[in-house]
Amino acid sequence: MQVDHLLRLDRLDLTLIWGDDVLLGQEIGGVTATDLEDPARFLQAGEIVLSGLVWWGRDGDPAKTDRFVNALQEAGAVALLAGEETHGEVPSELADACRRHRIALLGVPAHTSFRAVTEAVYLRQWGEFSRRPTDHYALPEYVRLDLDRAWERGAPTGELLDRAFAHLGTPACHLLTNSGRTVARTANAPELPVRRAAEVLRGRDGAALRVEADDTAFDSWHLYLPEDGQVPPRVLHEIAELLGRHRRRLDQRKAARKQAHEELMTRVSAAYGEADRLEAALRACGLAGAAAYTVVVATLGSTEGGGEAAAVLTEALHHQRSAAFAVAELLEGEAVAVLAHSPDRDFDVRARLAEVWPLLHDCRPGAALHAGVSDPVGSPVELPGALAQARYALAGARTTASSTARVAGLADLADLRTLLPGIPSHVRRVYLDTVLGPLLRADQGSRAMLLETLEVFLDNNCSWARTAEALHLHVNTVHYRIERIERLIGRNLSRLDDKLDVHAALLCQVTTSSRGGRAGPHVRSTSCS
């Protein structure tokens, strides 16, 4: 680790007060913290020195400052990191002394602890040592400097990837997410289909290395080289480390847009909103003026941790490269997205999500991934209605017990079983009590027997004979039970309308007991496009 690497660590927030390229390029061999006036006997060559400048006084002897810096120079120290907390700044006479003795001088702000600096140095050194087998090459210094400069000026991911592998002849390399999305690839790397990319990460054909960052199982980055052994392991690790810094900076930029996305979802979730404020919220997210909008709502199941529903939906929508979007996760664990896109009929959000949804499920096989997609709407004022549509579709998707990963649209609400879950749970409970209340309040033994008979009777199209056969009863017993049910609920099951009412009420009983109410508009966190 070199002195100038410390300046590139955003979390330390160090300031360069004086030092040229030669001094900043020196390797750091260790760290010593001291406030002694003469620390020479405690220093070793190659160390950086941390000092809170307690020994310095505004009315003191300038020679004291010169002796302190001279001791650092004679001991072979590579830099002085001066704390600003004691005096509010780094004294100018200290900077002058460092110039005379050619000691690089860095300022440490009050909010950065010396411990954080020390840990940064030793963690970096430990990481480099652990990746330094004697029979492998290191990433050349000129390449590291080039990559650091490119990263500092905000070079895009693809450029960083090409620069990282250029000195090796630019072997084919892909930067993939866990769901198989290609984030970037080197210039000569062939396009890798999404499903194939997911397969190679699962099967570990070739060489693959995860990029460490604050990610989830759905959107983590992986370096993938089809041919193993092309790149020395230490070099690959160093490239992954740089990309990890790059990923964290991208995530910080997304977090900076958090408030704007929360505001948009709050406006969309409002039953009655002001069109001007909704338009302003779209503008703040870069989504204003689109010809069409689609709303998507997704869940992972009630047991998943906070933030991951948004991560899933964000990763899924990143696969849709022709649409801009914003995502926010609600307190109840629902992630909501607004997509801005062209009105092209071939742009089918539901179909595109359905293609990648199984790949996302493979990232977390135990999760119950479901999504509901609205029909496209042509104006911002229609977004609240589109959100209601998406929630209805989501509720329908979650009724399919055999599926743990499903995307549904309004066209999938093809029967009462998929339509009813979208109705608020308290409305379903009232309807259930209105239609079947007396039956449900019967004594426990009778209630279970009569409900079973009623369900089998309706499932067999109200056939007395087939119901008796299914329940192993005499037909007269079935007649007796159905007549008793009709007296309790005040319905005539020979009438079509009454049959439909009772059938709907039975479905309400199932959906009310197995599903909670719809999520409200309270927003917790966001993930952005």
Express each pLDDT in 359-389 by its tens digit.
Answer: 998 888 778 889 999 999 999 999 999 998 8
Question: In the predicted model, what is the mean pLDDT of residues 326-337?
Answer: 84
Assess contact for 18 and 49: CB atoms under 8 A: no
Model confidence at 400, pLDDT cuts 50, 70, 90, reads low
Mean pLDDT of 130-146: 62
State the pLDDT confidence band at 431, using cuts at 50, 70 and 90. Answer: confident
Question: Does the structure show a pLDDT above 80 at 186?
Answer: yes
**In CATH, 259-422+523-528 is 1.25.40:** no
Mean pLDDT calculated for residue range 192-214? 85
Q: What is the dihedral of CA 436, 440, 442, 445, to 10 degrees?
A: 130
Can you give the pLDDT at residue 283? 92
pLDDT tens-digit map of 263-304:
999 899 886 667 888 999 999 999 999 999 999 999 887 544
Crossing angle for the helix pair 194-203 and 349-363, nearest 10 degrees? 0
Residue 20 in this model has a pLDDT that exceeds 70: yes
Close Cβ partners of 8 (under 8 Å, ≥ 6 residues apart): 148, 151, 152
Minimum mean pLDDT range among 179-193, 399-413, 437-451, 476-490:
399-413
As a whole number of angstroms, the distance between CA 507 and CA 411 comes to 20
Structure tokens at 448: 């279970």
Q: What is the pLDDT averaged over residues 444-461? A: 87
Work out the percent of the chain whose per-residue pLDDT is above 70: 89
Q: What is the mean pLDDT of the chain?
A: 84
CA distances from 495 to 117, 450, 464, 482, 502 (A): 80, 19, 15, 13, 11
Mean pLDDT, residues 54-64: 82
Q: H helices within 76-139, ranges in order?
A: 92-101, 114-130
Residue 167 has a pLDDT of 83
What is the distance between the alpha carbons of residues 100 and 106, in angstroms, rounded to a whole number? 15
* Topology of domain 425-514, CATH: Arc Repressor Mutant, subunit A (1.10.10)
Residue 338 predicted with pLDDT over 80: yes
pLDDT recorded at residue 181: 94
∠ CA 524-526-528, nearest 5°, is 170
Residue 517: pLDDT band by 50, 70, 90 thresholds?
A: very low
Among residues of the chain, what percentage have pLDDT more than 90?
Answer: 31
Query: Who has greater pLDDT, 429 or 79?
Result: 79
Where does the pLDDT of residue 138 fall: very low under 50, low under 70, confident under 90, or very high at 90 and above? low
528 band by pLDDT with thresholds 50, 70 and 90: very low
What pLDDT shows up at residue 414? 65
- Angstrom CA distances, 83 to 62, 111, 499, stand at 18, 10, 81
The CATH number that domain 141-255 falls under is 3.30.450
How are the residues of the chain apportioned to helix, strand and coil, as percentages rounded to the nearest 5? Answer: 50, 15, 35
Return the DSSP state at 27: B
pLDDT value at residue 193: 92
pLDDT at 481 over 70: yes
Q: Quick one: pLDDT at residue 224?
A: 93
pLDDT of res. 524: 36
Res. 136 pLDDT band, cuts 50 70 90: very low
**CATH for the stretch 3-130:** 3.40.1390.20
- Residue ranges of domains in the chain: 3-130, 141-255, 259-422+523-528, 425-514
Pick the range with the lowest mean pLDDT from 241-255, 292-306, 432-446, 494-508: 292-306
